[in-house]
């Protein structure tokens, strides 16, 4: 099974940087979930993660990357390594060369283009360097900021999956957006 390539240098567009997630990010992740009580719901999680949950995820991250199962990237600013959000690559299907993305940005950093920048950087890297041919986002249709960020990052609207997601005991429609290798040009 293919593995995600090692990210030896952070990806950056001059406004936002992506690097492998690290244990030092845990306090900022906990603060983001505390500052946005609905974040876990938007991330399709039953509850906010605890410090122990995040510690376990960090311990397993290297093996998950090498096994090609998942990857967690931290969103930061070019001159400040502090975690401002995270981007998750999961639901990886190496037979069909596709993966799904989820992202969150800290509440105090939203609306500044970090989501758009991180999605564009990750999408291009996954398609050019990791060998994938499609990356997709499924997001609750009411999450208009996320849909706008994905569109601005070059992801194409594909439609709505009715009743696709469960959150807080209710069925929700999911918007689907994707980026495929041919979208990148040469």
If one compares 70 and 186, the residue with the highest pLDDT of the two is 70
Q: How many CB atoms lie within 10 A of CB 29?
A: 24
- The label of the residue with tokens 């994905």 reads 150
Helix (H, G, I), strand (E, B) or coil at 183: helix
- The percent of residues above 70 in pLDDT, for the chain, comes to 98
**Structural contact between residues 48 and 33, judged by C-beta atoms closer than 8 angstroms:** yes
**Domain covering 11-133 assigned CATH 3.40.630.30 in the classification:** yes
166 has pLDDT over 90: no
**pLDDT, tens digit, 9 for 90 and up, residues 67-83:** 999 999 999 999 999 99
pLDDT at 163: 87
For the chain, the farthest-separated pair of C-alpha atoms sits apart, in whole angstroms, at 45
- For residue 186, what pLDDT is reported? 65
Query: In the structure, what pLDDT confidence band is assigned to residue 45 with cuts at 50, 70 and 90?
Result: confident
Instruction: Say if residue 42's pLDDT is above 90.
Output: no
Give the strand pairing for 156-167 and 170-180: antiparallel
The per-residue pLDDT for 43 is 87
Domain ranges of the chain: 11-133
Rg (CA), the chain: 15
**Whole-number pLDDT of residue 1:** 66
pLDDT at 95: 96
For residue 58, what pLDDT is reported? 95
- Residue 144 to residue 142: CA distance in whole angstroms: 6
Q: Is the pTM of this model over 0.85?
A: yes
Average pLDDT over residues 79-92: 96
CA–CA distance, 181 with 132 (Å, rounded to integer): 8
């Amino acid at each position: 099974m293919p593995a995600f390539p090692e990210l030896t240098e952070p990806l950056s567009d001059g406004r936002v940087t992506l690097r492998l997630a690290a244990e030092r990010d845990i306090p900022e992740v906990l603060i983001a979930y505390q500052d946005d009580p609905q974040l876990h719901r938007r991330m399709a999680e039953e509850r906010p993660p605890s410090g122990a949950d995040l510690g376990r995820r960090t311990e397993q991250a290297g093996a998950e990357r090498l096994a090609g199962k998942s990857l967690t990237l931290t969103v930061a600013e070019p001159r400040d390594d502090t975690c401002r959000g995270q981007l998750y690559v999961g639901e990886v299907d190496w037979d069909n060369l596709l993966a799904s993305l989820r992202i969150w940005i800290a509440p105090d950093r939203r609306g500044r283009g970090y989501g758009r920048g991180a999605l564009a950087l990750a999408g291009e890297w996954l398609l050019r360097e990791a060998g994938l041919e499609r990356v997709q986002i499924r997001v609750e249709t009411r999450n208009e900021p996320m849909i706008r960020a994905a569109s601005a990052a070059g992801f194409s609207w594909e439609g709505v999956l009715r009743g696709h997601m469960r959150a807080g005991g209710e069925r929700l429609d999911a918007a689907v957006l994707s980026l495929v290798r041919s979208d990148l040009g040469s």
